[in-house]
Amino acid sequence: MHDMSDDTRDLVCGAFMGLKCIYRAGYKYKKVAVMLMSLSTERARQGTLFEEASELASLFRINALRVVGAG
């Protein structure tokens, strides 16, 4: 992933892209855990000049779903 994201769809897509790059048939893989560090709030996120309006709209939709889900 090139951009920061808290969108689950982006994170899952990035994880699958990484797996496709490193997976080799014939190896016995094991389950591991990943620890995320240096996380910041969405308000601390700096936009870019190249960000699409649809990406911003997607962020608003995701946040709306979180609010509804928490209520």
> 21-56 pLDDT, tens per residue?
999 999 998 988 888 787 777 777 676 776 666 667
Count of domains observed in the chain: 1
Residue 68 lies in a domain: yes
Residue 39 lies in a domain: no
Residue 55 lies in a domain: yes
Cβ proximity of 4 and 45 under 8 Å: yes
Residue 13 lies in a domain: yes
SS percent in the chain: helix, strand, coil, step 5? 50, 0, 50
Residue 58 lies in a domain: yes
Residues of the domain holding 10: 1-30+48-71
CA–CA distance, 51 with 48 (Å, rounded to integer): 5
Residue 38 lies in a domain: no
- pTM higher than the cut 0.75: no
Cβ proximity of 10 and 1 under 8 Å: yes
